[in-house]
């Protein structure tokens, strides 16, 4: 009985949350899904992580250095960018590369606009997912083929708890569900 009430309550609140999202979008400087954000530097994922000829085939975790061991995947520091780019001025967009130097010399972090974000009351640990063998692309799309990130990939389902729970319910190798759906695992 209590369980039924709980599930009904969650569905109700989720419907309300859904309505609020359509009207207003999430709070703060995050992408509301509309694709209208502007990054402070036009950082091209494809030139760095793509494996086409002339691209650099860099591992995602070279830059997103903590995905395997921490809750956050991590964003590289301006010193990491400058470490390469002091010797690589850029052949097509040198003006974008020049901005790295400005942030570096000012000792300021690059103010990237956050794209992927869930509500603060829920908890998403990258390391558990990466260590379970999931690919970044399953949740973020083919990032290595993208130019400047201005919106979320359509594969992203993180505006709604159902995306998380549906995958957790899928059977693992032992036939049981592969991850917990207890409320307290994600909400605390
Ligand atoms: C050379 C460093 C570098 C590499 C390699 C790299 N990234 Fe990134 N990534 C960044 C930077 C800088 C940002 C922030 C700017 C932006 O959103 O484009 C970012 C942003 C992202 C975001 C959005 C974060 C947010 O704001 O929510 C995702 C998702 C992401 N990267 C995934 C990947 C994946 C997957 C790969 C491998 C295919 C990869 N990245 C390779 C540097 C890198
Ligand atoms: C491991 C070395 C490496 C790191 C680290 C790195 N880059 Fe790059 N980046 C490259 C290479 C190589 C290119 C291709 C340059 C070219 O084609 O002229 C490139 C291209 C670029 C371009 C496009 C330049 C153009 O002329 O088209 C931008 C902008 C850029 N990087 C920004 C960044 C930022 C911002 C960071 C840090 C988040 C970063 N890079 C980290 C190696 C790196
Ligand atoms: C199971 C789905 C899933 C997988 C797999 C996944 N992510 Fe994420 N990613 C998310 C979610 C959900 C968020 C938002 C987390 C939040 O708001 O707390 C996120 C946020 C991010 C961010 C933004 C902020 C940060 O530092 O965490 C980056 C960068 C990122 N992911 C990169 C990656 C990379 C690189 C990989 C692969 C090594 C990866 N993700 C694998 C779901 C995933
Ligand atoms: C696998 C992780 C996961 C589990 C398990 C889970 N939730 Fe959630 N839940 C989330 C995420 C993520 C969101 C927020 C999505 C977003 O960013 O809008 C959410 C949103 C909600 C909301 C909407 C509130 C709001 O502000 O958007 C309620 C209420 C809620 N969860 C209650 C519950 C209850 C009760 C349970 C147990 C029956 C539960 N959740 C189990 C991940 C989970
Ligand atoms: C594509 C499938 C997939 C998606 C989508 C996914 N997860 Fe998971 N999640 C897993 C798997 C698999 C594990 C189990 C890892 C393990 O066994 O250690 C897991 C584990 C977890 C854990 C640790 C559970 C524990 O028992 O301690 C949390 C918390 C979690 N996920 C939260 C989330 C949230 C929040 C979202 C949505 C924003 C989400 N997950 C989306 C597959 C997924």
CA 41 / ligand 4 centre spacing (Å):
34
Say whether 94 sits in a helix, a strand or coil. Answer: helix
Phi, psi angles (nearest 5°) of residue 30:
-120, 165
Domain ranges (residues) in the chain:
37-75+112-186
Say whether 171 sits in a helix, a strand or coil. Answer: strand
CA-CA distance, 136 to 62, in Å (whole number)?
13
CA 65 / ligand 3 centre spacing (Å):
12
Q: Which residues line ligand 2 (CB under 6 A)?
A: 41-44, 47-48, 56, 58, 76, 80-81, 83-85, 88, 90-94, 96-97, 100
The model's pTM: 0.91
CA-CA distance, 116 to 118, in Å (whole number)?
7
Q: Would you give per-residue pLDDT tens digits along the chain (188 residues)?
A: 333 333 333 433 333 333 333 223 333 345 445 557 899 999 999 999 999 999 999 999 999 999 999 999 999 999 999 999 999 999 999 999 999 999 999 999 999 999 999 999 999 999 999 999 999 999 999 999 999 999 999 999 988 899 999 999 999 999 999 999 999 999 98
Q: Ligand 5 pocket: which of 17, 128, 180 to mutate (most atoms <8 Å of CB)?
A: 128
Half-sphere exposure of 17 (CA within 13 A, CB side): 16
Contact predicate 49/144, CB 8 Å: yes
CA 167 / ligand 4 centre spacing (Å):
14
Torsion of CA 142, 66, 159, 17, to 10 degrees: -170
Of all protein residues, the one whose alpha carbon is nearest to atom 41 of ligand 1 is 60
């Amino acid at each position: 009985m209590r369980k039924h009430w709980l599930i009904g309550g969650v569905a109700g609140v989720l419907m309300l949350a859904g309505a609020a999202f359509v009207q207003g979008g999430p709070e703060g400087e995050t992408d509301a899904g509309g694709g209208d954000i502007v990054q402070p530097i036009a950082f091209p994922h494809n030139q760095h992580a793509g494996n086409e000829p002339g691209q650099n085939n860099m591992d995602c975790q070279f830059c997103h250095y903590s995905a395997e061991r921490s809750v956050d995947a991590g964003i590289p520091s301006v010193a990491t960018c400058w470490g390469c780019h002091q010797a690589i001025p850029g052949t097509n967009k040198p003006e974008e590369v020049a901005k790295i130097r400005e942030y570096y010399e000012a000792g300021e972090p690059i103010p990237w606009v956050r794209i992927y974000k869930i509500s603060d009351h829920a908890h998403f640990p990258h390391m558990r997912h990466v260590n379970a063998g999931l690919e970044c692309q399953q949740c973020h799309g083919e990032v290595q083929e993208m130019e400047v990130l201005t919106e979320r990939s359509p594969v992203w389902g993180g505006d709604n708890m159902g995306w998380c729970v549906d995958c957790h319910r899928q059977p693992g190798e032992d036939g049981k569900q592969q991850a917990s759906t207890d409320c307290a695992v994600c909400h605390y």
